[in-house]
Amino acid sequence: MSQVSEILQYNRQFVEDKEYEKYLTGKFPDKKMVVITCMDTRLVELLPKAMNLKNGDVKIIKIAGGIVSHPFGSVMRSILVALYELKADEVIVVGHLDCGMAALDGDHMIQEIRNRGISEEVLSTLEHSGIDLNSWLRGFKDIKAGVTGTVDLIKNHPLLPAGVPVHGMIIDPNTGALDLVVDGYEDTSAK
């Protein structure tokens, strides 16, 4: 049986037993926050527990490294949707120790892309279209700098409403300990 088949089989029983009822909530976050964090598997349950969050409290956006790398990409759009349409009024960026993005090497990943069957023609077309794959795929060297850089990108976005606090934290994926590296309440001045 495939993993997808197992998921669907489990889901049928989950719905039949009405297990979903304990997760019912509204679409607006009760704590009026949006959290941007890494997609690391260690954070799936640990991060909400470490932050005392339950289903319905916040909007959580998970991306590689918890790093917003493009000011007009889909992640920033999601943040703005949360703030303008879904009643969030604070942003927290949460990076973590021992992040795989810290060690990500663009050259290595490009080689893995080749190994998985992407042709040199495709890679060449992207390069000649002005896309620097090595830079785009490169990770970061320092998690604190990654978090503060993302906080700065969000905080200085031209469409961010004035006065929205943007915080930065780092979580230890082994213990759940949080370290505040940017206190968004210190700088909520109007733009």
pLDDT of residue 190: 43
pLDDT of residue 156: 96
CA angle 51, 54, 60 (to 5 degrees): 70
Distance from the first to the final alpha carbon of the chain? 56
> Environment class of residue 126 by beta-carbon count within 10 Å: exposed (0-12), middle (13-18) or buried (19+)?
middle
Closest CA to 182 of 140, 141, 153, 139: 153
* Chain centre distance of CA 108: 23
Collect all residues with Cβ–Cβ distance below 8 Å to 102 and sequence separation of at least 6.
Answer: 65, 139, 140, 141, 142, 143, 146
Residue type, 86: L
pLDDT of residue 188: 64
- Please give the DSSP secondary-structure letter assigned to residue 161: P
* Pair 106, 136: CB distance under 8 Å: yes
Half-sphere exposure of 49 (CA within 13 A, CB side): 11
CA angle 7, 9, 11 (to 5 degrees): 65
pLDDT of residue 129: 94
Instruction: Name the stretches of the chain with pLDDT < 70.
Output: 188-191
Closest CA to 65 of 44, 37, 84: 37
pLDDT tens column, 113-150: 999 999 999 999 999 999 999 888 888 889 999 999 99
Residue 135, Cβ neighbours under 10 Å: how many? Answer: 9
pLDDT of residue 18: 96
